[in-house]
Amino acid sequence: MADATQKQILDVVKELLASGAYSDLDITCGEDIHNVHKVIEAKTGTIDLPDDEPSIIKLVIQFLYEGDYDLNIPEGELSETSPILENLDDLLRTTSYARTTGAEHSAMTTVVASKIYEVADKYDIESLKELSRIKFSVACPIQWKNSDQFVLAANHAYTTTSDSDDGLRDSIIGTIANRMTLLNIESVMALLNEDHGLAVGVLEKRAEELGWLKE
């Protein structure tokens, strides 16, 4: 009975988000306007988020209402001018990497998770940050074969988190350390050369697994 009641309440909350019924707060990001409710957001008036990516904010709001979010962003919604893509231009200039566009965006779960992790940290939403950490850690061992996406996500994680924040970094280090054939990929080596902290982390992880580190 409790599960049925919980599902019924969740369905109502989802419908409120989808329809905008009884909304008393607007959140704007880019061209998007989200009609939300103060009881959920605990704010008043209108909130404008001009520096954030609309597709990511949409998922953050989904989490606030539903306690979860869908990692698969529909084709064309992920910004092609976001900092993560621009910052990689120099890093990957000499590799075979081509900018990810169109349908490939829908499968970029590690990139999306890392972006949401950044926003959750920015707005101090700890539960969302932890959920994104879990989704990222699950996706990394699955998506590492798509080196372009993996490098994008790794670069974003390392450039948007502090050195003391291991939430996403541990998964990146573990993924490379357990799959050293990734070092045969130019973009991965470029990433390691760019961020020495990542390179040292991979070396330490591998040495630990081989029992080379002193107790």
The reply to whether 125 falls in a domain is: yes
5 pLDDT more than 60: no
The reply to whether 172 falls in a domain is: yes
> pTM to 2 decimals?
0.75
> What is the span of the domain harbouring residue 114?
74-209
The predicted model gives 170-184 an average pLDDT of 94
pLDDT at 43: 54
The reply to whether 80 falls in a domain is: yes
Tell me, rounded to whole angstroms, the distance of Cα 124 from its chain centroid: 15
- What are the pLDDT digits (tens) for 104-163? 433 478 989 999 999 999 988 899 999 999 999 988 888 888 788 899 899 999 999 999
Helices (H), the chain: 2-19, 38-41, 54-66, 83-91, 109-122, 126-143, 147-160, 169-177, 186-194, 196-209
Total number of domains in the chain: 1
The reply to whether 48 falls in a domain is: no
Whether 162 and 128 have beta carbons less than 8 Å apart is answered as: no
pLDDT at 148: 84
Amino acid at 173: I
